[in-house]
Copies of this chain bind each other. A is one copy, B any other.
């Protein structure tokens, strides 16, 4: 049972219809070796899937918790599934460099937010803006 099928089955269970477009888009995100944009997915299918459908499906995956969305300060939104393994993105607002940080730095944060706010945070691909060591001069 691949990652894709887990997502598809779970979506079906939650009452969503599984269309060929959704299958393709989900496969593309889950199998992409890097965080991916809506544009890249649409290109991959050369106009066979409308870009609006791509955006809607990515939004669905995000809402249902199967994908994370990230603003990496490049003017577009990047998506990734859990396939990627958790990590934090430290995005420098001066030079735009992105440093991947270990997820451990937010372990206590996760507990705090659950405990004090009953909020279940998506922290496995969190983006944090700031200034990197080189840019602090």
Contacts and interface: CB of A to CB of B under 8 A. Distances in A.
Interface of A: 62-63, 65, 69, 71, 90, 92-94, 99, 101-102, 105-106, 108-109, 112-113, 116-123, 126, 128-133, 136
A60 to B, nearest CB: 11
Contact of A93 (B63, B71, B90, B123): B63
Number of copies: 2
Nearest to A118: B133
Contacts of A93: 62-63, 65, 122
24 contacts: A65-B131, A69-B129, A90-B113, A90-B117, A92-B119, A93-B122, A99-B119, A101-B116, A101-B117, A102-B116, A105-B109, A105-B112, A106-B109, A108-B108, A108-B109, A119-B130, A119-B131, A119-B132, A119-B133, A120-B130, A121-B130, A122-B128, A122-B130, A126-B128
Contacts of A106: 109
Contact of A136 (B71, B113, B120): B120
A114 to B, nearest CB: 9
A128 B127 CA distance: 9
